[in-house]
Structure 1
C-alpha cells in the first residue's frame, strides 16, 4: 500500500493533507465547492468536467471552467489539477484514472457529482408525465445522472480500494427519506434516486476494505445557475425570495462542501455513515459546520414540515 507520510500524522489545520481526491463534475455548483473545501483541508484534488476555457458543454455556461476550479482549489491551500473529462466516455475516464495511478498509485476520496441536466429539466421534463416527456431527453437525463456515475465508479474503485480508508461520495438531490415523495417526473426521479442506491450497494462492497460510501444532498442550492435563473448574485440573493418564497432557506454550495470535508476527516465515518444517505443540514449538525453567512440551514426539514406538512413556521426557524 502506497501512503504519503502526511497521512500518518495529520495537521489539525489541514486534516486531509497527503490525501488524494477526485471530484468528478467540479465545474460549478456543489462540485466546485466540494473540490475547493477538500483542497482547503489540504488534499490534492483532481477536478473534472466538460467545460474548459476552449470548449463549452451542453449546459451552455462558459462563465465557469474546470481550469478555474483547479485554480480555486490551489488558492484555498490544496493542489488543484484540472483534467477535462466527459464521464460518459469510458476511454476518457480510464485515462483519468490511469493518470491518478501514475501520479500517486492510489485514490483516497472519490466524489461523484456528475449531472449537467438542468437545461433538460427546465425545458422538457418537469411537469410532464413520463409518456409526454421526449424520450431522447428522458434517456439523456439517465445518461447524465446515472450512467456517468456508474462508469466513474466502476473504473475508479479499483484505485480507490488501495487507500487505507476509501471514501466514495455520491452527490444527488434528496435523501432516501425525502425521495419517498415522487420527484415530479419519472426520469428525474430515477436519476436522483439511483445515487442513493449506488451508495447503499457500494457500502456493502467497500465494508471489507474499511471504506465508506455515502449519498449526500444539498438543500435549496444557491448555485451559479440558480442565481442566474433568479437574476441575482450571491451578494443580493435574498432579493429572489420575492419570486420564490422558499428560496429564503437557500444555502451556498460551500455549506455541503464544508460538511463533506469534515466527514472526510472523520476517522469514525464508516461506522457513522457507510451505506447511508444524508443532507447538508444533518451533516452540519453532526460536525458543527456553518454556511458562509454563519447560519445552519436545514432545507429538507423545512420542506417536510412547512412546504409539504403545512406547519406555520418561518424559514429563519430552520436556519
Structure 2
C-alpha cells in the first residue's frame, strides 16, 4: 500500500467527516481514520442524552469520538440529523470555521434496519408506505442533503475523497433484487450517486466511490444472532454461511487505505467492496483473515458446495 507520508500516521493533518458514525461500519471507519492520524468529525442522532428511532442506547456518537481519539486521531462528536438541511449546513460551517478544509467525506447514514425487517421479502403493496418512504429518506435523501452541503468544502482543495457506503456492489445489485423495492432503491442509489458525483468532483481533483462491506458483524447483527465479537463463530453452527462474515474494522481499514492512497483517483466512480480493496492494499480484518463475502455469495449461486474457507 502506498501512502502520502512515511510514518505510521498517513492521514495526519487530514480532516474527515463520517456522517452516520454511531455504530457499525460508520463507527469503525471513523476509528480507522483516527488510527491513521486523522481528525474526524462524527455525526449521528443517538447521543448520551437522546436516542434515535433505531432504539439502541448502547452506542453513541460521543463514544465513537472517544474511540477515535484513543486510536490516535482526534474525534469530535456533533449531533446531527442528516435529514435536516439546516443542521447539516451548521455542521459544515463548523468544520470550515474550525479547520478550513475537508479532505474525506463518508456518507454512511442509514439506521433503517428495523424497517427492512418489517418489510423483508414483501411486495410493494404489502409494505407499509410510510416505512418504505422512510427507508428512502434515510438511505437516499440524507446522503443527497449531506453531499450538497459538504462538497463545496471538499472541492476547495484537490485530493478530496467522497465515500458512499451502501449494501452490495454494482456487480451484485445490478442484476439481483434486494429484499423489497424500497430497500433495493435505497441501496442502489448510493452506487449511482458515487458514479454521478465522480464526474462532478473530478475537475476539482477529487474522487468519489461507492463502498460496501460484506456480511457485516455490526452490533445489531451480533445481537440478532445472540453472539459477541469474541464468540461470533458460534452463530455459524446454525447458519454456516455466517462464517464469511467480517467485522466492521475491515471496511474501516478499506476507507483508511483509500484515503491514504495518492493514486486513489483511479477508483473514481467505481463500486468497491472491502474484500476487493483488502486484496489491493494488503490489509486484513481484525482477526488477520481476508474475507470476500460478495465473492462467496456470487459463487454459491452456481455451486452450493462452495467452501467458505476459500473466501476467507
Superposed pair shares fold, TM > 0.5: yes
Contact 1:249 1:298 in 2 (8 A): yes
Report the equivalent of 2:305. 312
The residue aligned with 1:143 is 137
Structure 2 unaligned segments of length 5 or more: list them.
none
Q: Distance in 2 between matches of 1:234 and 1:73?
A: 19
- 1:193 and 2:162 correspond: no
Aligned length: 309
**Contact 1:24-1:49 within 8 A present in 2 as well:** yes
* SS across alignment from 1:80: strand
Equivalent position SS for 1:157:
helix
Q: 2:262 aligns with which of 264, 267, 273?
A: 267
2:154 counterpart residue number? 160
Task: Give the deviation of 1:192 after TM superposition.
Answer: 0.1
**SS in structure 2 of the partner of residue 216 of structure 1:** strand
How far the C-alpha of 1:246 sits from its partner, in A, is: 1.3
Separation in 2 of the partners of 1:309 and 1:77?
Answer: 45
Within the candidate set 249, 252, 256, 1:257 is matched to 252
* In structure 1, C-alpha distance between the alignment counterparts of 2:238 and 2:56, rounded to whole Å: 23
TM-score (normalizing by structure 1): 0.95
Report runs of 4+ in structure 1 exceeding 6 Å deviation.
Answer: none
- Which residue of 73, 76, 98 maps to 1:103? 98
- 1:310 shift after superposition: 2.2
| Match of residue 210 from structure 1 | 205
Write the mapping of 1:55-204 to structure 2, written as runs, cut at 5 A. 55-123=50-118, 125-179=119-173, 180-204=175-199
- Once the two structures are TM-superposed, the CA of residue 220 in structure 1 deviates from its matched residue by 0.4
Q: Does the 8 A contact of 1:114 with 1:149 survive in 2?
A: yes
Task: Name which of structure 1's ranges 209-218 and 241-250 shifts more when overlaid on structure 2.
Answer: 241-250
Aligned residue for 1:5? none
C-alpha distance in 1 between matches for 2:87 and 2:11? 27
Kept in 2: contact 1:142–1:190 (CA 8 A): yes
1:311, CA displacement in angstroms? Answer: 4.5
TM-score of the superposed pair, with normalisation by structure 2? 0.97
Q: How far apart are the structure 1 equivalents of 2:65 and 2:90?
A: 18
Q: Deviations over 1:75-112 (max 9, x none)?
A: 00000000000000111101100000101111000000
Task: State the distance in 1 between where 2:69 and 2:226 align.
Answer: 30
Hey, what's the Cα distance between the residues in 2 that align with 1:286 and 1:62?
37
Superposed, 1:15-94 pairs within 5 Å as: 15-94=10-89
Report SS of the residue matched to 2:34: helix
Pick which of 246-255 and 309-318 moved more: 309-318
The CA deviation at 1:17 is 0.4
Q: CA deviation at 1:11?
A: 4.4
Are residues 1:276 and 2:270 paired? yes
Per chain length, whose mean CA-contact separation is higher, i.e. which structure has more relative contact order (CA < 8 Å, sep 6+)? Answer: 2
For 2:122 and 2:5, how far apart are their aligned partners in 1?
Answer: 51
1:312 Cα offset (Å): 2.1
Gaps of at least 5 residues in structure 1 are 1-8
Flag the 1:46–1:11 CA change in 2: closer, same or farther, 3 A.
farther
CA separation in 2, counterparts of 1:302 and 1:211? 32
Distance apart, 1:314 and its partner CA: 1.4
Whole-angstrom distance in 2 between the partners of 1:39 and 1:221: 21
Query: Is the 1:11–1:17 Cα contact (8 Å) retained in structure 2?
Result: no
Q: Residue 3 of structure 1 corresponds to which residue in structure 2?
A: none
How many angstroms does 1:283 deviate by? Answer: 0.4
